[in-house]
Amino acid sequence: MAKGRKSRMDLRREADALEARKRDEEAEGEETEEEEEEEEEEEEGDDAEADADADADAGDDAEGGDEDDGGDEDDEDRPKKKKAKKVAKKPAAKKATTKRTRTPKEVRTRAVWVVFDNASKVVKEFPYNQKAAAEALLKEKLEEKKTFYLNLVKQEIKDEK
C-alpha cells in the first residue's frame, strides 16, 4: 500500500471505534438524566422533611429557645447536585429509499434439436420428441461432408395472440 495511506480495514476500525464512543456518550447522557430525576424526587422528599423541621424549630423559638435555626446547616450538609449536559436529541434520520428493480417476466422456452454445420449455421431444427429424425439427418449430412453436429437448444416461445 502507498506510503501515508490507510487500508480499508484500518479505516473501518476507526469508524467502528467512533460509533462505539458515540453510543457510550448517549448511554451516559441517558443515565445522567435518569439520575437527575431520581435526585429531584429525593430532594422533594428532603424539602418536605426540611419544612417539618423548620416548623418544629419555629415552635422552639416561640417558646423562647436560644438555638440557631438549623436550616442553614442542612443546606450545607446537602450535596449540591451537578447538572449534566443535556444531549439534544437528533431527529430520526429517514431511511434511504431503496430502488426497486423490476423482476423480468419469466420467458417460456422450449427445447429443440438443431443440426449445425461447421460454421455454426442452422441446417434444420427438430422438436424435442423427434431426436431420431435429427440424428438421421445428421448421418446423411456426415456422409456428404464431415463437418456437421447435433445440439440441444432452448428457444423462446413467442405468444401469438
Spatial separation of the C-alpha atoms in residues 159 and 106, rounded to whole Å: 13
Q: What is the pLDDT of residue 2?
A: 63
pLDDT one-digit tens code per residue, 26-58: 887 766 666 666 666 665 555 555 555 555 555
Spell out the residues 6+ positions from residue 41 whose beta carbon is closer than 8 angstroms to its own. Answer: none
Q: Name the residue with cell 415552635.
A: 59
Compare 17 and 144 and report the one with higher pLDDT.
17
Q: Identify whether the C-beta of residue 50 lies closer than 8 Å to the C-beta of residue 71.
A: yes
Spatial separation of the C-alpha atoms in residues 29 and 22, rounded to whole Å: 11
Name the pLDDT band for 83 (thresholds 50, 70, 90).
low
Spell out the residues 6+ positions from residue 29 whose beta carbon is closer than 8 angstroms to its own. Answer: 84, 85, 86, 87
Q: Identify whether the C-beta of residue 36 lies closer than 8 Å to the C-beta of residue 83.
A: yes
Q: Identify whether the C-beta of residue 138 lies closer than 8 Å to the C-beta of residue 99.
A: no
